[in-house]
Amino acid sequence: MNLIFFGSDDFAAIHLEYLIERGYKIPVCVTHPDRQKGRGMKDFASPVKECALRHKIPVLQPSNLRESSLIEELKAYNVQLFIVIAYGQILSSSFLKIPRACALNVHASLLPKYRGAAPINWAIINGERETGLSIIRMTPALDAGDILAEETIAITPQMTAVELRAKMMAIGPGMLDRAIQLIEDKKAKFIAQDKTKVTYAPKLTKEMGAIDWKKGAKNIHGLVRGLLPWPSAYTHYQGKILKILSSEVVGEGARQEPGTLIELTKNGFVIATSDKGLLVKKVHLQASKPMDASSFVNGHRLQVGFNFRV
């Protein structure tokens, strides 16, 4: 089966690599333009572009999808499928009509829950016990297409967004391969999403990371886990941002003002919340390096009674 691949990040690239290894014919890949990063503002290619060029597959990098010439160029390849993963732009109906079969999208949630840009993060932030991957037939509406395949993944109490994403990257490629085979064998069965159960996962913002110690420990722990690697959950220490990179819910109840350091342990330090304690195990102070919380305590001589809300 021949297909055109749309994508950008490493999540997409690992799927592309797998499809190439499986022998699918991919005449061209579509990704976003190179982006400038770092102090020197050097151009950096997307992981999808790097993967494609490594396998000598041509790459298109349109700045937008409104160019009529791009539609004609893609039509000329006469492919059966579009595969779209973490591309970052919605394909219009004009694009979705190009492949002879359909356009498939791999989405990191159990649709119709968590449509949108950050489904992995929001599932953890909201305290979900499970999430998963969905493969859908794309429509012009955001993540609204009929479902071809889904696979459930358990979210453990300490699992971070980084760990959950890695687990999805391990599962997704094989799942996508099986879905493509269903289409090729004409055995695909698509199921409409339940519109009454739709929820959304909007883009993350830096402001989301600000910890409100008046909330419960479980809520804050979810924020810590869900906002890794960016923007990270954070509080303040001596006028600087202190990111909390690892935590754990401890204790039976709050007896101190929320935000107060209530205990020092060999694993870090405990901060009071509105209900239980939050054991902080790893931190990253602004203009410093990430470190375990015990080292931070020793280096800054933190003492019980210090309040992070001040």
Residues 130 and 109 in one domain: yes
**Which amino acid type is present at position 276?**
K
Residues 108 and 238 in one domain: no
Residues 61 and 165 in one domain: yes
Chunked into runs of 10 residues, the chain (310 residues) has average pLDDT values of 97 98 98 80 89 98 85 96 95 96 98 98 98 98 98 98 98 98 98 98 97 97 98 96 97 83 95 96 97 96 88
* Domain total in the chain: 2
Chain centroid to Cα 68, Å, comes to: 31
pLDDT of residue 28: 98
Partners of 136 in the beta sheet? 105, 147
> For residue range 169-186, what is the model confidence (pLDDT) as tens digits?
999 999 999 999 999 999
| Residue 309 lies inside a defined structural domain of this protein | no
| Residue 308 lies inside a defined structural domain of this protein | no
CATH of the domain at 273: 3.10.25.10
Residue with tokens 């732009």: 89
Residues 68 and 153 in one domain: yes
CATH of the domain at 129: 3.40.50.170
Q: Is the dihedral of CA 184, 189, 195, 201 positive or negative?
A: negative
Residues 250 and 132 in one domain: no
Rounded to whole angstroms, how far apart are CA atoms 90 and 173? 22
Strands 42-44 and 102-107: unpaired
- Chosen domain end from 142, 174, 197: 197
| Residue 186 lies inside a defined structural domain of this protein | yes
> In sequence order, what are the residues at sequence separation of 6 or more whose Cβ sits closer than 8 angstroms to the Cβ of residue 166?
none
- Chosen domain end from 197, 219, 243: 197
Question: Which range marks the domain in which residue 256 is found?
Answer: 207-300
Q: What is the pTM of this model?
A: 0.95
- Chosen domain end from 172, 197, 222: 197
| Residue 306 lies inside a defined structural domain of this protein | no
Which helix (H) or strand (E) segment holds residue 264: the answer is strand 261-265
Residues 135 and 221 in one domain: no
